[in-house]
């Protein structure tokens, strides 16, 4: 009986390790996507800043003298357009829309990875449940004939699953934050809001990097 119990827990331990590794590989993919996502968010921010930049103060005497000295039909059109060429305006609007599109693509990719993480969590739960049932049966059989021995292997297997659950929770919270940011973006989003969004995305206040690093150290 003892040999069977040891074989069962060892099998469970080896079974959850690849699941744990697959889980972390997807976490790293989400981390990489987040780093790319902030580039598109800052691109959106810079595009809007360009479109909103204040016009030249043409009431200044110095500016008026420069305008008079270089007065032309082209300069007049440039001034009437708010000191931005039509080409630049079209290009910046296109850039802003592209960044927003890329951010939505980012969310879809992360959402798919979260679904895969949930499946891996379920797999880990099945392993832990089977291992616990096997171990409990063994220790009940041995209760009257030998002193109880702490099932250290079972604890290890359960710890893997618990760590996965914690990491999934914080990554999911970070995704919800990103989703709210992207859903609120439009051409009327204020500069202050954009600054806060970029800061939140970069700092990731819901993510505990120490927990993720601890998990990575468990992978050989």
> Which residues contact residue 124 at a Cβ distance below 8 angstroms, ignoring those fewer than 6 apart?
16, 19, 20, 23, 160, 161, 164
Residues in the chain, total: 220
Encode pLDDT of 13-56 as tens digits.
Answer: 688 889 999 999 999 999 999 999 999 999 999 999 888 876 55
Q: For residues 170 and 210, is the Cβ–Cβ distance under 8 A? A: no
Structural tokens at position 212: 């993720």
Q: What is the C-alpha separation between 98 and 203, in angstroms, rounded?
A: 24
| pLDDT at res. 88 | 73
Decide if pLDDT at 138 tops 90: no
Encode pLDDT of 68-115 as tens digits.
Answer: 666 655 555 655 555 566 667 788 889 999 999 999 999 999 999 999
| pLDDT at res. 14 | 81
Q: What is the C-alpha separation between 171 and 68, in angstroms, rounded?
A: 59
- Please count the other Cβ atoms lying within 10 Å of the Cβ belonging to residue 22: 15
């Amino acid at each position: 009986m003892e040999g069977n119990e040891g074989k069962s827990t060892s099998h469970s331990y080896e079974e959850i390790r690849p699941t744990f590794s697959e889980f972390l590989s997807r976490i790293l993919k989400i981390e990489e996507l987040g780093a790319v996502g902030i580039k598109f968010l800052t691109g959106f921010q810079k595009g809007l800043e360009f479109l909103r930049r204040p016009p030249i103060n043409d009431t200044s005497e110095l500016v008026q003298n420069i305008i008079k000295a270089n007065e032309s039909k082209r300069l007049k059109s440039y001034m009437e357009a708010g000191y931005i060429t039509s080409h630049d305006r079209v290009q910046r609007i296109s850039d802003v829309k592209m960044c927003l599109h890329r951010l939505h693509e980012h969310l879809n990719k992360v959402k798919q990875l979260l679904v895969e993480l949930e499946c891996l969590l379920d797999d880990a739960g099945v392993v832990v449940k089977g291992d616990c049932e096997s171990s409990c049966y063994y220790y009940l059989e041995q209760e009257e004939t030998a002193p109880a021995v702490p099932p250290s292997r079972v604890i290890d297997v359960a710890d893997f699953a618990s760590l996965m659950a914690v990491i999934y929770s914080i990554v999911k919270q970070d995704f919800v934050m990103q989703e709210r940011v992207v859903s609120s973006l439009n051409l009327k989003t204020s500069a202050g809001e954009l600054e806060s969004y970029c800061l939140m995305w970069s700092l990731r206040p819901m993510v505990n990097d120490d927990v993720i690093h601890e998990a990575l150290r468990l992978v050989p």
